[in-house]
Amino acid sequence: MPVSSDVTRPDDGDGGLPVNELFYSLQGEGSLGGVPSVFVRTSGCNLRCWFCDSYHTSWEPTHAWMDVADVVDAVVDYDRADHVVVTGGEPLLHEPVVDLLHELGERGYHTTVETNGTIHRDAPIDLLSVSPKLANSTPTPERDPTGRGEWADRHERARIDLETLSELVADYDHQLKFVVTDESDVDEVEALLQRLRDVAWVPIHDETVLLMPEGATRERLAETRDRVAELAMAHGYRYTPRLHVDLWNDAPET
């Protein structure tokens, strides 16, 4: 499907979404893990996590432009699913995602939006799955997959926006899903939750906080998952596996 790397729409149309992939799978992460779902993956991101498991939406965006109506038709074609996961890249970068969520809601779909928590939009979203990025995500020159380190400062400045996060948790049923590798990451989660609780005008319950092991491949997950499970137990947070990686490793459209 991918035919372009420009995430600004060319002149030949307005609206529409840069779609990297659209597929049917099982929700692999979070509180709806295991639920058959159609995934709509938009292209383009305002961050550049060094570990991004969707490289072709962030570091090297590729996609085809699709009108919202065509995305809806493609979703409806998967007639076994009543859940839709809108992800990316960063799906909330794109204004037409709001239309898409209205169209899906009107058709009775349960919608989850996977977001990095730096952008707020008003839209009918059943579950906002927020994954605020910790310092462990920053593409330092040593970790940057391109080796250039050009995104480190911009990523570092943008990755946490407390005001936006507090609006998101107030406006939506949510989960907070942190990518973790070690104890210091959990210390950072706790410090962030403290700051968020200080400014948010709704309670943030520990049951909505999930620790997810970092790992885009089975091999890497085998190195991180035991420790992250232990950390979840020690701190009283939920652990979420990455079922899709267990099942299909890093294959596309899974």
Ligand X SMILES: Nc1nc2[nH]cc(C(=O)O)c2c(=O)[nH]1
Ligand Y SMILES: C[S@@+](CC[C@H](N)C(=O)[O-])C[C@H]1O[C@@H](n2cnc3c(N)ncnc32)[C@H](O)[C@@H]1O
Q: Which of 216, 218, 239, 248 binds ligand Y (CB under 6 A)?
A: 216
Q: Which of 25, 27, 43, 57 binds ligand SF4 (CB under 6 A)?
A: 57
| 114 lies in the site for ligand Y, by CB under 6 A | yes
Which of ligand SF4, ligand X, ligand Y, none does residue 224 bind to, with CB < 5 to 8 Å depending on kind?
none
Instruction: Give the residue among 80, 81, 94 at the shortest CA–CA distance from 41.
Output: 94
Q: How far is the CB of 11 from ligand SF4 (least distance, A)?
A: 26
Considering the complex, state which of residue 48 and residue 244 has its C-beta at the smaller distance from ligand X.
Answer: 244
Size of the site for ligand Y (CB under 6 A): 18
| Distance separating alpha carbons of residues 96 and 104, to the nearest angstrom | 12
| 45 lies in the site for ligand Y, by CB under 6 A | yes
Beta strands 36-42 and 110-115, pairing class:
unpaired
Q: Which of 131, 136, 138, 240 binds ligand Y (CB under 6 A)?
A: 131
Q: How far is the CB of 89 from ligand SF4 (least distance, A)?
A: 5
Which of ligand Y, ligand SF4, ligand X, none does residue 25 bind to, with CB < 5 to 8 Å depending on kind?
ligand X
Choices 83-91, 94-102, 103-111, 195-203 (CB under 6 A): range interacting with ligand Y? 83-91
Choices 32-40, 47-55, 65-73, 212-220 (CB under 6 A): range interacting with ligand SF4? 47-55
Q: Which residues between 66 and 125 bind ligand SF4 (CB under 6 A)?
A: 88-90, 116
Annotated binding site: 26-28, 41, 45, 49, 51-54, 87, 89, 131-133
* Positions at the binding site for [4Fe-4S] cluster: 45, 49, 52
